[in-house]
A and B are shown apart, each in its own frame.
Chain A
Amino acid sequence: MKSQINEINRNIYDIKNKDEYDFKIKKGLTPEIINEISNQKSDPDWMREFRLKALEVYNRLELPTWGPDLSELDMSEIATYVRPKTKLNNSWEDVPEDIKNTFDRLGIPEAEKASLAGVGAQYDSEVVYHSMKEDLIKQGVIYTDMETALRDYPDLVKEHFMKCVPVHDHKFVALHGAVWSGGSFVYVPKNVKVDIPLQSYFRLNSPESGQFEHTLIIVDEGASLHFIEGCSAPKYNKVNLHAGCVELYVKDNAYLRYSTIENWSKNMLNLNTKKAIVGKNAGMDWVSGSFGSKISMLYPMSILNGDGAKTEYTGISFAGAGQNLDNGFKVVHNAKNTSSVVNAKSISKNGGICTYRSLVRVNENAKNSKCTVSCESLMLDDISRSDTIPTNEIRTDEIEFSHEAKIGKISDKTIFYLMSRGLSEEDAKAMIVRGFAYPISKELPVEYAVEMNNLINLELEGSIG
Chain B
Amino acid sequence: MSTMDQTPRSRFSVIDIVKTPLVVAVALIVFLLFLGEYLSPGFASGQQILRLLIVAALMGIVAAGQNLVILGGREGIDLSVGGVVSLAAIIAGNLMAGENSGIVLAIVGCLAAGALVGLINGIGVTLLRIPPLVMTLGMLGVLQGLLVVIRNGIPSGRAAPGLSQFVTQPFLLGLPGIIWLWIVIGICMAFLLGRTMIGYRIYAIGSNEQAAFMAGMPVKTTRILLFVLSGMFAAVAGICLLGYSGSSFANVGEQYMLPSIIAVVFGGTPLSGGKGGYTGTMAGAILLTVLQSILTTINIDESGRQMVFGATLLLLMLFYGRGKALRA
Task: Decide whether A and B are members of one complex.
Answer: no
A residues sitting closer than 8 Å to B (CB atoms) are none
Q: Could you list which residues of chain B lie within 8 angstroms of chain A, going by C-beta atoms?
A: none
